Amino acid sequence: MGITVNEIVDAKGLACPMPIVRTKKAITNLEPGQVMEVQATDKGSTADMKAWAENTGHQYLGTVEDGDVLKHYLRKASDEETKEETRHESVTDLEELHNKIEEGTSIFILDVREPAEFVFGHIPSAVNIPLGELEDRLNEITKDKEIHVICRTGNRSDLAAQKLTKKGFNNVKNVVPGMAKWDGPTERNY
């Protein structure tokens, strides 16, 4: 038994946020109930697709690995099921984060990128919990400090910040635009 898809989106070779950007654009072409296959090679795209679907009301059906390609399956929601996509309200920029680090402010920096991304450059003292593992590792996050969530561009971290807030974490800030533009100190673990 195969999966019948109504549209295939090619996001191979693209990094976050592009698989989601292409998915958002393509899903408008579908009728409610129709299924889309998104082909991606970004390992973080599985967590991104799940979180995006949860945030919008569309149904994440699953992911099939085909060699290096991840095939994500999404079902378009009906108008009644669709939720307006939300953004985390509390945002901080890179300069503000850099200043807090330099001042020695007691903050918790949560990096939600995939381990391979983290290893090649991260903010010293940042804790790496990939978005896809966040629910299972909430106990590793300090609740009594201001939490700054960062990813590569600010999109994955936005989804993580929303998830943390829903789980009762207070004082959560999404860092934008993310590590792609970070010019402060970094560490590498390779």
- Catalytic residue numbers? 16
Letter string b/e over residues 167-189, b meaning 16 or more CB atoms within 10 A of that residue's CB: eebeebbbbbbbbeebeeeeeee
CB-CB contact of 102 with 85 (8 Å): no
* Nearest to 88, CA basis, from 177, 171, 173: 173
Which residue's entry shows tokens 């309200």? 89
Helix axes 18-27, 45-56, angle to 10 degrees: 40
Token pair, residue 155, equals 């999109």
Distance CA(116)–CA(67), nearest Å, equals 18
* Nearest to 165, CA basis, from 57, 90, 105: 90
